[in-house]
Chains A and B, each alone.
Chain A
Amino acid sequence: MSAVPASARGSAGAAAATLLAVRGLRKRFGGVVATDDVTLAVAEGEVHALIGPNGAGKTSLIAQLSGTLMPDHGEIRFAGVDITRLVQHRRVKLGLARSFQITRLFRSFSAVENLAIAVQARDGRNLSFWRPVSRDTAIADEARALLGEIGLAARADMPAAALSHGEQRALEVGVALATRPRLLLLDEPMAGTGPEESARMVELIERVRTKATVLLVEHDVDAVFRLADRVSVLVNGRVIASGLPDAVRNDPEVVTAYLGDEVHR
């Protein structure tokens, strides 16, 4: 399990510019501290994994990064812009997109239509009330090409709700990808998938990384150590370690707090 593809590590050069910089982020709900002084840097081009036990604050952090939850303190900079108070759709326009842990697709739309609407949203010019969207062949073409890239070409016209779980997970990533993000927040893309589907998702993320920087929140520790250039560990709302996978894996604090026997299995 420690076999790491050399290609995956290639782009993790120390000189890469910081794309996402989080500083001193705090969020509390009543007496519960969800995010406790989180500082995190994601470099352009890397796959940065965020791991941690249940209740560590991963979901709250993703919500603050994507703009659905406003932090109490701290700062989020994306590509040099302060986005701390920016609403979500504006962050998407800047190139920060997310996928969801619990699949959220446009269920009555077909697979290709799910991608087409995301392409259309990125394209803008949507206060158009009279011209049939079916004449916008550029949108349909791009959606079909992308559908092929995520391996669902054969499912184009199937309603999203009728796809298998693994296919829905792939489409979930595809919809986010259709916005052409610079940074893609993947919230547990392997959630609920079997080993075969997980392997396919790992492949998909390998392809995604050639197009976008990835912040990967994932429970599947095997997958994380195969994909990630760097790993940050979140426990009780705090980042307790951040660095190269091997260093993090052997960090005594990480082992006690989270990985424990999972690594030494």
Chain B
Amino acid sequence: MTPAASAASAASATATASTGPSPAARVALLALAFAAIAFPFAMQALDASFYVSVASRMMIYAIAATSLNLVLGYGGLVSFGHAAFFGIGAYTVGILITEGVVSGWIGIPLAMGIAALFATVIGAVSLRTRGVYFIMITLAFAQMLFYLVNSVKAYGGDEGLNLKLRSSLGFGLNLKDDATFYFVVLACLAGTLLAVHRIMGSRFGRIVLAMRDDDVRAEAIGVPTFRYKLVLFVIAAALGGLSGALMVNQQNYVNPNVLHWTQSGTLMVMVILGGVGTLWGGVLGAFVLLLLEEVISAYTVHWQFWVGWILLAIVLYAPRGLVGLVSRALGRGAGRK
């Protein structure tokens, strides 16, 4: 229960953050937004457009990790099957495009909706348990889906599903264009972060934090805790589905490995690395892990060995993850959310 415990230690800051960002944090946010918008143009000018799609991939993982952080960090529910929702989102869009439904306005909401539907069923069973049992049941459901997708030959089975088209969005937006795709993903990431920020500052968010602290006590003040956990689980799954829908559009390909338990593990590593139960934890964790992979794998194929050491150091010395380190470095302002 390390993530939940460290989340609790971070929560006194989280719990009082509803008054809005400090002036310093506002400036940092504006600078970040400016940098994110300028990035593709700068890369084009430097003739390094390749990095635009690298950044898009990082942001897609940032959405996935942020959605996991909602249940794992804020909710204190160690879900080990989050890749299932990522994969469901990816396959929903993949199958729709294969069947000729290319509109993103249908594909993306449906990807989120079907992920939410699966989460309702998986959550209805798994949220009746806690601790290790919850971890194992979420893992089991995700692995069931992994084997199911592997066996459906009509949509590629274990060889995966190749796509000739990307989702179309209209309005002159062509997702095949790297910069356009980048901005669509950026908008989705910004929307996700705004949603998580607003949700965690709302009445519902307060209930979530209370249940994380002590769900027995929450029930004893009249909170139907099962219902609220289920709603949280479903929201997180929908956002996970969104990230999968974007991923399949970037790669023009999806295979069952996106649902594999190691994928769930990768997302957990991102959250723990970045900062459990912090708004920016998923973003920072995804960016840093993928960068580390990129950099270290240039030197050795055993990059995960070195990432393991870094993760160990974070867990031992920085329980609030990189967000905790950054906010300590910046003084009190920016990391509060």
Number of A-B contacts (CB under 8 A): 117
Q: Mark B174-212, 1 if CB is under 8 A from A, else 0.
A: 000000000000000000000000110111111101100
Answer whether A108 and B15 are a contact pair too, CB < 8 Å, given A125-B203, A129-B198, A133-B202: yes
Q: Does A88 contact B (CB under 8 A)?
A: yes
- Residue in contact with B214 in the complex, picked from A107, A120, A128, A130, CB distance below 8 Å: A107
Bound complex: CA of A108 vs CA of B213, how far in Å?
A: 7
Enumerate chain A residues within 8 angstroms of B201, measured Cβ to Cβ. Answer: 132-134
Q: Mark A112-124, 1 if CB is under 8 A from B, else 0.
A: 0100111011100
Enumerate chain B residues within 8 angstroms of A159, measured Cβ to Cβ. Answer: 12
Interface of B is mostly: helix
Q: Does B16 contact A (CB under 8 A)?
A: yes
Bound complex: CA of A113 vs CA of B228, how far in Å?
A: 19
Q: Which of B156-164, B218-226, B249-257, B327-335 contacts A (4 or more CB under 8 A)?
A: B218-226
* Shortest Cβ distance from A96 into B: residue: B222
- Residue in contact with A117 in the complex, picked from B12, B14, B221, CB distance below 8 Å: B221
Q: Which of A14-22, A98-106, A205-213 contacts B (4 or more CB under 8 A)?
A: A98-106
- B211 CB to closest chain A CB (Å) equals 9
Enumerate chain A residues within 8 angstroms of B210, measured Cβ to Cβ. Answer: 106, 109, 117
Enumerate chain B residues within 8 angstroms of A110, measured Cβ to Cβ. Answer: 12, 15-16
B18 touches A133 (CB 8 A): yes
Bound complex: CA of A132 vs CA of B9, how far in Å?
A: 22
Q: Does B300 contact A (CB under 8 A)?
A: no
Bound complex: CA of A136 vs CA of B231, how far in Å?
A: 22
Q: Mark A186-214, 1 if CB is under 8 A from B, else 0.
A: 00000000000000000000000000000
B199 touches A109 (CB 8 A): no
- Residue in contact with A108 in the complex, picked from B8, B216, B225, CB distance below 8 Å: B8
- A172 CB to closest chain B CB (Å) equals 9
B219 touches A129 (CB 8 A): no
Q: Interface range on chain A: under 10, 10 to 19, 20 to 34, or 35 or more?
A: 35 or more
* Shortest Cβ distance from A161 into B: residue: B12
Bound complex: CA of A109 vs CA of B18, how far in Å?
A: 13
B203 touches A105 (CB 8 A): no
Answer whether A107 and B221 are a contact pair too, CB < 8 Å, given A127-B204, A128-B203, A132-B201: no
B217 touches A175 (CB 8 A): yes
Bound complex: CA of A35 vs CA of B224, how far in Å?
A: 27
B219 touches A88 (CB 8 A): yes
Residues of chain A from 80 to 112 with CB closer than 8 A to chain B in the complex: 87-89, 92-93, 97-98, 100, 104-110
B231 touches A127 (CB 8 A): yes
Q: Does A66 contact B (CB under 8 A)?
A: yes
Answer whether A136 and B217 are a contact pair too, CB < 8 Å, given A89-B222, A108-B11, A179-B222: no
- B327 CB to closest chain A CB (Å) equals 17
* Shortest Cβ distance from B214 into A: residue: A104
Q: Does A178 contact B (CB under 8 A)?
A: yes
Of the listed residues A68, A120, A126, A127, the one surrounded by the most CB atoms of chain B closer than 10 A to its CB is A126
A120 touches B216 (CB 8 A): no
Enumerate chain A residues within 8 angstroms of B207, measured Cβ to Cβ. Answer: 117, 120-121, 126
A89 touches B15 (CB 8 A): no
- Residue in contact with A104 in the complex, picked from B9, B11, B209, B216, CB distance below 8 Å: B216
B213 touches A106 (CB 8 A): yes
Residues of chain B from 3 to 53 with CB closer than 8 A to chain A in the complex: 8-9, 11-12, 14-16, 18-19
Q: Does A264 contact B (CB under 8 A)?
A: no
A109 touches B209 (CB 8 A): yes
Bound complex: CA of A107 vs CA of B222, how far in Å?
A: 18
Interface residues of A (CB under 8 A from B): 66, 68, 87-89, 92-93, 97-98, 100, 104-110, 113, 116-118, 120-122, 125-134, 136, 159, 175-176, 178-179
5 A-B pairs within 8 Å (CB atoms) are namely A89-B223, A106-B218, A122-B221, A132-B201, A133-B206
